Amino acid sequence: MEKLKKELDRLIEKLENAADFRAKLAGLESVYPFNEYEYIISHLLAAQKLALDEYFQLRDSYINRNLYLYIFEISAPRGFGDKWAFGHLMELVPDFKRPNKKLDADYSGEYDFWLDWQDERNKYHGIRIEVKTSRAVDFEKPDEPLYHKALASDSGRPFDMNFQQIKVKCAEVFLWIAVWRDKIRYWVLNSKEVKANKYFSKGQHRGNIGEGQLHLNRENISEFEKYQVKSTEIREAIIAAYHRLGKAK
């Protein structure tokens, strides 16, 4: 949004009555879909300060920078985590299965996905996977809606993504998903790697034994690069993380 505002401000300065226009804009009452951006763009087009081809370029550029902005409009946490994230992952990894007692007799809701894997000796493994999700939002704008404070991946603004309720004993592999306006990132770690990480805080809440949390922010995100994977690599990364755990024997 910041880039769009700067570009429109630059074009407004080309208007002969730029000061009067800004005064009208300050008192503009917006009702969807007639908002300040529609008002600005329509005036720039009418004044021939913005060509139609330039408008399409402006529009396409904005869309490309905000491909995942709609995800920030999902207000309910479970709607984001359970519905969007689970559906997204099952599209990326069709081999993922939602766990049940037929797959795992001990299952009681502790983890999110099950992956059947056959190793080179034709031995079958059932890998338990826990998914944690978060969205990158401006940490210094706590009272604004998520879609207003959503950050682009190249933004210098501070963020704090808290992956909560991490139970390292309940899954072999952890898959973290973080969403920016223009990018989705994925990290895959096994339970030992999570537990040993210096940013993992045990005992998220008093009395919650075996449960912790981890904050991912601008200061430490680069330290997790070795665990970051592409969307097309998630399945193989999970198997590799399971290997590192030492259970594929």
Q: What is the pLDDT of residues 65-107, one digit of tens each?
A: 899 999 999 987 778 988 899 999 999 999 999 999 999 999 9
Report pLDDT for 248. 57
The Cα–Cα gap between 7 and 247 comes to 54
User: Does the structure show a pLDDT above 60 at 247?
Assistant: yes
Residue 211's pLDDT band (cuts 50, 70, 90) = confident
* 165-209 pLDDT per residue, tens: 999 999 999 999 999 999 999 999 999 999 999 999 876 555 556
Distance between CA 210 and CA 1 in Å, rounded? 41
Q: Where are the domains of the chain?
A: 2-65, 69-244
- The helices-and-strands tally (H runs, E runs) of the chain is 9, 8
State the Cα–Cα distance between residues 161 and 22, nearest whole angstrom. Answer: 37
Q: How far apart are CA 109 and CA 66, in angstroms?
A: 34
Cβ contacts of 4 within 8 Å, gap of 6 or more:
37, 58, 62
Give the pLDDT confidence score for residue 22 in this predicted structure.
Answer: 87
Q: Rounded CA gap, 185 and 234, in Å?
A: 11
Full-model pTM: 0.81
User: Quick one: residue 3, left, alpha or beta (phi over 0 = left, psi -120 to 50 = alpha)?
Assistant: alpha
| DSSP 8-state code for residue 225 | G
In DSSP notation, 152-167 reads -TT--S--EEEEEEE-
Cα torsion 186, 113, 81, 225 to 10°: value is: -10
Pairing verdict, β 200-202 and 228-229: unpaired
